[in-house]
Amino acid sequence: MNDSELSIRSGALAGKRVTLCVSGSIAAYKAVLLARLLLQAGARLEVVMTRGASEFVGAATFSGLTGRAVYADMFSQTSAGEKHVELAAESELVIIAPATADLLARLATGRADDLTTALALCATCPLLVAPAMHPSMWSHPATARNVTALERDGRTRLIGPVFGQVASGDHGVGRLAEPEQILDAAAALLGPSSQPSLVGRRLVITAGPTVEELDPVRFLGNRSSGKMGFALAERAAVLGARVTLIAGPVALGTPRDVTRIDVQSAQEMRAALWRALGADLSRADALIMAAAVADYRPAERTPQKIKRSSAELTLKLTPNPDLLAEVGAARTGTRPLLVGFALETDAANLVALAREKLMKKSLDLVVANLSEQALGRDDTSLTLVGPNDSLALPELSKRAAAERILSWLHGKLTEPT
């Protein structure tokens, strides 16, 4: 995380009293990274460890970072008071990261059999919980019931888990959210006044590639990972928007509180887009078209697999509809706001090409970047291009870049119409 990203969070976290609770998961090492980020953002940090956490990371590590004692046992503290009560009263935010399946079960049933659960039960401040476990444990009905109970109570905000490889080498949803994601969520909980509110706004966001089938086993596609569109959807939901995410084929977990529609081809994305927007475009306040929609598709799809031969193979391609241009042409007023993306390879003419796209498609903003600075990466360098101006952003994570785009969107949505 660079200085530009950290400054975004510092306003929300500086001087805030945060208690970080670490439980017994192999992902506990990431809690050390989270502690460091919280301290860099200016938080006043206390650390609580469960007995199981000490099997994976030492208390001396956290103590060395914070310069303070680490709490582990309700009954062995030197203070005269009840430590869970003291910490609950002092904390402005309690973060549990990682939270094991066992800990989720104890939280959901109101157990208070160690310092972490007693603190969580006693706290009246926001409680941010980041689960981590094997995908089979996360998908088990018992875990689902516990998560539902926590969400229904309305006292707990969950962040993750996310799709990825876990310690066993298996892949699935169960991996701890990255420390930067947890930091983002903490900043959103503690600093709503410092971030743009999108409460009540309806956003449609597209993400990822589209694929166009040649035959039952082959397709034309592109290298879009979908990370930028998913980051926009995640951050917009955190800021209170009602988000519909139309996603091409990507291996990314659905952000919390986001309605996801999966599609394959440009034609499928087109149909989903118009259903989400409505024929008169009245169902959305803004459309952010981050998807890399295929420009062409095969003129014919072969029903059987094309067999290899020594002869040359010629493919006839036909243009796909320009989805964003269609929406721009159909818009009669200033809503929905239309944000497009321009992925280019010509650095010298990046802004000019983006502005040409903006004018041609009747857009409000084009987010321009170079292919080598975006495709498949977790960070990016963007330039926001409007009709008369442009703003080059420093290199940011895609989540931080999403915040900047949504900040612009918030400003436009609050302008008098």
Residue 111 DSSP SS3 = coil
Inter-residue contact 141 to 150 (CB < 8 Å): no
Q: What is the largest CA-CA distance in the chain?
A: 86
Closest CA to 338 of 353, 351, 323: 323
In b/e form, how buried is each residue of 154-167, taking b as 16+ CB within 10 angstroms? Answer: eebbbbbbbbbebe
C-alpha to C-alpha distance for 210 and 221, rounded to whole angstroms: 6
Q: Determine the length of the chain.
A: 417
C-alpha to C-alpha distance for 342 and 352, rounded to whole angstroms: 11
Q: Which helix (H) or strand (E) holds 130?
A: strand 127-131
Quote the distance between the C-alpha of residue 81 and its chain's center: 40
Residue 207 DSSP SS3 = strand
Which is catalytic among the residues 2, 222, 349, 388? 222
C-alpha to C-alpha distance for 171 and 24, rounded to whole angstroms: 20
Which residue is listed with tokens 């818009």?
A: 331
Is there a catalytic annotation at residue 349? Answer: no
Active site residues: 222
